[in-house]
Amino acid sequence: MKCRHCKTPLKHVFLNLGYAPHSNAYLNQNQLSHPEKEFPLKLFVCHNCWLVQTEDYSNRADLFTEDYAYFSSVSSSWLKHSQHYAEMIQKRLNLNENSFVIEVASNDGYLLKNFVAEGIPCVGIEPTDSTADASEKIGVPVIREFFGEEFAKSLAQNNQQADLIIGNNVYAHVPDINDFTLGLKTALKQGGTITLEFPHLLNLIRFKQFDTAYHEHYSYLSLYSVIQIFKMAGLRIFDVEKLTTHGGSLRVYGCHTEDARTNTEAVTELLNEEKEYGMQDLSVYLSFQNEADKIKSELINFLTTQQQNGKKVGAYGAAAKGNTLLNYGKIDNRLISFVCDAAPSKQGKYLPGSHIPVYHPDQLSESKPDYVLILPWNLKEEISAQINYVRDWGGKLVIPAPELTVLD
C-alpha cells in the first residue's frame, strides 16, 4: 500500500487492532444469526508526509449507507458548539443574504439550520438518505452526493462556488483525501474561506485515544500533514484554533494559495508544538501500540472482576469509539448486559461485533446496574450530568478509556 497523499510506500504500522466489523454497522434481531463481515483495522504512518491512515479495505459505499445511524443532533453539546461556530463565522466573514455557504457532510442539518435562520443561502452535501431526509424536514437544502473534484466542478459550472465551505468531522472520513481537497479548491470562490474540524492526531497520541480509530476514519491528521495536502491542491492554511470537541480537535481556516490574507502566529506555534512533541519522529508512532494494549487489558480485568463478584455492568452511548474498544477487547454481552443510547435510530438494535443490545435510556432505571460505562468518553461531562440518577441506587459511572476511571 502507498500513502494516500504522497504515494510513498507504507511500511510502518502505527496501530493494529485486529479484525472488526464496521463501527456503525448496527444489527437488527434477524442479522444476529448471520455471519458478520470483519475487516482489518490497521493504521500505518507515512514517514514522508506523516499522514496516519487505515489499511485499504473498506469501501465508502459500505460505510455510509442509506440507513446510516449517526445523527449529529442527538448531542446537545455538539448542537451548542455548532451554533457558536455559526454565530462566530457569520461575523468574522460578514456573511449575508448575498453570500453562499456549502457544508460537506451536512448530516441532519444540525449546523446549516443556523444559516437558514439568518437568511444566508446555503446547501448541504450529504450522501446518506437517512440524515438527508432529516435535514430537508427542517428546511435545510441538500444535494445527495459524495463530495470530490468532479462534483465540485458541477457546482462551479452552476455558479455555486462558495464564500464559505464547512467540513466538520468529514476530512478524516474520505478515502481519497487528495481528490476531496481538490474539490474544496474547485468549489471555493476567490477570496472565500474553508473551515475544517477534525480530531488532532497529537491528542490521539498524547492521551492514548486509540479507540478513535475505526474504518470510517481513513486519515488521522496533524496540522503538518494537512498543510502538505492543502499545498498540493493550491490551498493554504492561514489560521488554526484548538477545540475541545472529540477529545481535542483542530479547526483550520483555508484559502486559495494566492489569497491576500497572511498566516497567523497560531499556525507557526502549533507546527512548533507538534514538532517538539515528536510528530515527525518515527519512534513516537511505533511505541503507541503498547498504550492501546494496556487500556484494553485494564478494561477486561475490570469487567471480569465485576462478573466474578456478581455485579451487573451496563453502558451508555452506542458510539463508534465504544465499538472499537469493545471489539478490540473481544468484549460482548456476557460482560456488558446492555447499552443505552438517546438516538432512536440505534435503539432496538445490537452493537456490531459484541452484539450488546441497545436500549432507550429508561432501561438504566429499570435494570439498575452496579456500574455504567460511558463509552463516548469525549462526552463524559454531558452524559454524567444526564444520568447522574444512577447514583440513587448506589450505581457508579465508569470512564473506560483513555484511562479506566470510576467516578465518585
Q: Residue 66 pLDDT > 50, yes or no?
A: no
Architecture of the structural domain at 288-406: 3-Layer(aba) Sandwich (3.40)
Share of the chain above pLDDT 70, in %: 96
pLDDT in tens, 73-114: 677 888 999 999 999 999 999 999 999 999 999 999 999 999
Give domain 72-261's CATH superfamily. Answer: Vaccinia Virus protein VP39 (3.40.50.150)
pLDDT in tens, 330-354: 999 999 999 999 999 899 999 999 9
Share of the chain above pLDDT 90, in %: 88
Q: Residue 7 pLDDT > 50, yes or no?
A: yes
Q: How many Å apart are CA 75 and CA 81, to the nearest integer?
A: 10
Residue 56: per-residue pLDDT: 73
Q: Do domains 72-261 and 288-406 have the same CATH topology?
A: yes
Residue 247: per-residue pLDDT: 85
Residue 403: per-residue pLDDT: 86
CB 286 within 8 A of CB 238: no
* pLDDT, mean over the chain: 94
Residue 294's CB is within 10 A of a number of other CB atoms, namely: 13
Q: How many Å apart are CA 136 and CA 130, to the nearest integer?
A: 10
CB 70 within 8 A of CB 376: no
Residue 347: per-residue pLDDT: 96
CA angle in degrees (0–180, nearest 5) for 74-80-85: 125
Q: Residue 69 pLDDT > 70, yes or no?
A: no
Question: Where in the chain are the domains?
Answer: 72-261, 288-406
**Mean pLDDT, rounded, for 4-16:** 97
Q: Among 19-23, 221-225, 350-354, 356-360, which is the least confidently predicted range?
A: 19-23
Residue 76: per-residue pLDDT: 83
Q: Residue 199 pLDDT > 90, yes or no?
A: yes
Q: How many Å apart are CA 144 and CA 351, to the nearest integer?
A: 27
Q: Residue 402 pLDDT > 90, yes or no?
A: no
CA 130 remoteness from chain centre: 18
Q: How many Å apart are CA 235 and CA 229, to the nearest integer?
A: 9
**Mean pLDDT, rounded, for 244-264:** 96
**Mean pLDDT, rounded, for 44-55:** 97
Q: How many Å apart are CA 237 and CA 13, to the nearest integer?
A: 28
Per-residue pLDDT band at 67 (split at 50, 70, 90): very low
Residue 252: per-residue pLDDT: 98
Does residue 311 sit in helix, strand or coil? coil
Q: How many Å apart are CA 155 and CA 152, to the nearest integer?
A: 5
Per-residue pLDDT band at 59 (split at 50, 70, 90): low
Q: Which long-range contacts (CB under 8 A, 24 or more apart) does 36-43 make?
A: 36/352, 36/353, 38/353, 39/215, 41/16, 41/17, 41/213, 41/214, 41/215, 41/324, 41/328, 42/13, 42/15, 42/16, 42/17, 43/13, 43/14, 43/15, 43/16, 43/213, 43/220
Q: Residue 175 pLDDT > 60, yes or no?
A: yes
Tell me which residue of 218, 211, 264, 99 sits closest to 166, measured CA to CA. 99
Residue 203: per-residue pLDDT: 96
Higher pLDDT, residue 382 or 61: 382
Q: Residue 57 pLDDT > 80, yes or no?
A: no
pLDDT in tens, 285-321: 999 999 999 999 999 999 999 999 999 999 999 998 9
Residue 408: per-residue pLDDT: 79
pLDDT in tens, 121-147: 999 999 989 899 999 999 999 999 999
Task: Give the three cell numbers for residue 168.
Answer: 466538520
Per-residue pLDDT band at 61 (split at 50, 70, 90): low
